[in-house]
Structure 1
Amino acid sequence: MNRRGFLGATAAGLAVTAWPAFIRDAFGDGAACEMNGKPSTAPPMAQVSAAFRRAQQAGKALLVLVIPADDSARWERGRAFGELLNFGADRDLSPLAGVEVVCATMADLKKIVPGAGAGEPLMVLVRTDKVPAAATTLDASLPAYKSGRGLDRKSWEQQQKDEEKIAAQRIGALGDLLRKALGADERNMAARAAGVRARLVKQPPAGAHWASSSGCGTTIEGVEENGVIGCGMGHVPEKSRRFLYFFSVEQRG
């Protein structure tokens, strides 16, 4: 088995003590996704292609949540998208009602949409009604969390308050990106946001799994066998504890 650091242990404040067999190599080597509640082991490029076709057939644009090549960046990106989807307000999530969503690396996206752009932006919006498909990169600078190690009680309480502010800023920045790119229609906003939560929060977007960790053990939702992570190795901000897991998972049984 090819062992790797779990999404950047330094950034996450976590350390891997053991990998079970069900976690294979990074996403690019064959990620799993959720389709109608069932995992798919289709190659990443096939997942992007399928998502593009679904968007095209529905007359929608395709929104790609970009998976960075670097493991540490994957962890950070997964946390940011998790914060948005789990804690975003109706106005932040409702724009997603009108697009098909998939998670993919830029390398895999470019196999389907060669003009997807350069670098590794947060997201890429692909218009599926044109040939060749037109793509717009969506990017912003997200504030980073500070380490919570070695704090006394008073400092720890302040750290938690600071993390709440940072989480709100990160969610707000992502919400602003979506509203600017997809529009900010206030009609039926609550209903549209509820539909997004049912589609992307109860089940993960294609190309990812939902996972959760509070700094001692990590659970990948829908997977019976889970990895063992060293306890007491670090702190995970409250709103980052459920995140999009961008590594491949092999379903047992």
Structure 2
Amino acid sequence: MKRRHLLGATAAGLAATAWPAFIRDAFGDGAACDEKGTPAAASGSLVQVSAAFRRARQANRALLVFVIPADDSAKWERGHAFGELLNFGADGDLAPLAGVEVVCATMADLKKLVPGAGSGEPLLVVVGTDKVPVAATQLDVALPSYDGMRRMAAGGREEQLKHDERIAAQRIGALGALLRKGLGADARDVEARAASVRARLVKAPPAGAHWAIASGCGIDVEGAKDSGLMACGMGHVPSKSRRFLYFFSVDGRGASTR
């Protein structure tokens, strides 16, 4: 028995040395190093994913990745959709998030840590943290678009507002259903779990993103000094989309793309 245990431990140790550097780091095996023993360099966003993976593993949770698209225009669209969910989702929509660690990351960075994360740019990826190889499951759904300018021209402001509310409800409902499908729909303590999500992800943003406010003629990134971005001509912003997840880096002088 002892010999078999020793062989098993040795095999596990050898397997661990073959893991990607950031898997070793995230699993708590010390700072990731290259073949010469030098600490491996990484981008800031990759470090965010690695740190979130480590937190999830230590808490015995899965990691849920809000996927940041590579295309800048798609970043805006997806950031608004996630903002609608977190700020206005019902208890049943948000409660599944209570059991996971959440981080925002590009698929390119996620795949450096989890090569099996899959292709494309799904809305969400669930990453297991309890075993190696790491298991990842993509969650995706088509979200309806506001199509705001044409609606405004066709029906006026009152029609626009009704349309916005209807589309926002559909988008939030689709994302909530996606979370329940992918993370489970436990009916226990839904209100309390949703409250914990709001305290953790609405008051402050998920790791890898910023909260920002869009007025239709400018953007203010919360918590960033001198981060007001003028963008007059953006036009109409649906009311439930105004506070959104901003997927760009921010410094003291303003903002720049990732």
Question: Could you tell me the TM-score, scaled by structure 2's length?
Answer: 0.79
CA offset at residue 187 of structure 1? 1.0
- Equivalent positions of 1:1-253 (< 5 A) are 43-148=44-149, 151=152, 155-251=156-252
1:247 deviation in Å?
0.2
SS at match of 1:148: helix
Classify 1:175/1:233 alpha carbon distance in 2 versus 1 (closer, same or farther; 3 Å).
closer
Distance in 2 (alpha carbons) for counterparts of 1:95 and 1:138: 14
Distance 1:233 1:110, change over 3 A: closer
C-alpha contact 1:148 1:156 (8 A) present in aligned 2: no
Q: 1:214 deviation in Å?
A: 1.6
Contact map agreement 1:211 1:243 (CA 8 A) in 2: yes
User: 2:154 & 2:227 partners in 1: Cα distance?
Assistant: 32
> CA offset at residue 151 of structure 1?
3.9
Deviations 1:177-196 (A, max 9, x none): 10011111111111110000
Mapped to 1, the partners of 2:194 and 2:68 lie a distance apart of 24
Does the C-alpha gap of structure 1 residues 135 and 234 become closer, same or farther in structure 2, counting only changes over 3 Å? same
Other structure's SS at 1:129 match: coil
Deviation per CA, 1:73-103, whole angstroms, max 9, x where unpaired? 0000000000000000000000000000000
Alignment partners' CA distance in 2, 1:145 and 1:131? 42
**Distance in 2 between residues matched to 1:215 and 1:124, nearest whole Å:** 31
Q: Report the 3-state secondary structure (helix = DSSP H, G, I; strand = E; otherwise coil) of the residue aligned with 1:186.
A: coil
Contact conserved, 2:67 with 2:107, CA < 8 A, in 1?
yes
CA distance in 1, matches of 2:105, 2:237: 24
Question: Which of structure 1's runs of 4+ aligned residues deviate more than 6 A?
Answer: none
Higher mean Cα deviation, 241-250 or 219-228? Answer: 219-228
Percent identity for Structure 1 against Structure 2 = 71
Deviation at 1:231, TM superposition (A): 3.2
Partners in 1 of 2:75 and 2:189 — Cα distance?
33
Cα RMSD after superposing both structures: 1.8
**Contact residue 93 and residue 196 of structure 1 kept, 8 A:** yes
1:8 matched residue in structure 2: none
Cα distance in 1, alignment partners of residues 225 and 51 from structure 2: 27
| Number of residue pairs the alignment of both structures matches | 212
Partner of 1:30: none
Inter-partner Cα distance in structure 1 for 2:115 and 2:152: 48
Relative to structure 1, is the Cα distance of residues 129 and 223 closer, same or farther in structure 2, using a 3 angstrom cutoff?
same
- For 2:188, what is the secondary structure of its paired residue? coil
Distance in 2, Cα, partners of 1:250 & 1:116 = 30
CA distance in 1, matches of 2:223, 2:153: 37
